[in-house]
Amino acid sequence: MIADKNGLFHFGSLIRCSVERYDRGEREWKGSGGGMLDRFVATPFGSEVARNCASRFLVNLPRATKLVVMFGMGSHQNYVREARTLLSAVRGKTMREINAVAYEDDLITVVHVEHFASQGDLIPQWLGEGKYRDHPRSQFGRLARASVNRAIDRFA
- The predicted-structure confidence for 14-59, as pLDDT tens digits, reads as follows 776 566 767 788 888 776 666 667 777 888 888 898 899 899 989 9
Give residue 18's pLDDT: 61
In this structure, which amino acid lies at residue 81?
R
Q: What is the pLDDT of residue 72?
A: 85
The angle formed by the CA atoms of residues 48, 54 and 55, to the nearest 5 degrees, is: 85
Residue with the larger pLDDT of the pair 23 and 151:
151
Positive or negative, the CA dihedral 47, 73, 87, 32 is positive
Cα–Cα distance for residue pair 12/72, rounded to 1 Å: 10
Mean predicted confidence (pLDDT) in 136-143: 94
Q: What are the tens digits of pLDDT across the range 56-96?
A: 989 998 888 899 999 888 878 888 999 999 999 999 999 99
| Cβ atoms of 115 and 77 closer than 8 Å | no
Predicted confidence (pLDDT) per residue in 97-128, tens digit: 999 999 999 999 999 998 877 777 888 999 99
* Euclidean distance between CA atoms 74 and 132, whole angstroms: 19
Neighbouring CB atoms inside 10 A of 58's CB total 20
Measure the CA–CA gap between 34 and 37, rounded to whole angstroms.
9
Please state the pTM of the whole predicted model: 0.85
Residue 1 has pLDDT above 90, yes or no: no
CB–CB of 74/33 below 8 Å?
Answer: no
Q: How far apart are CA 121 and CA 8, in angstroms?
A: 29
pLDDT bin (cut points 50, 70, 90) of residue 147 is: very high
The answer for residues whose C-beta is within 8 angstroms of residue 127's C-beta and 6 or more apart is 138, 141
| Amino acid (one-letter) located at 112 | H
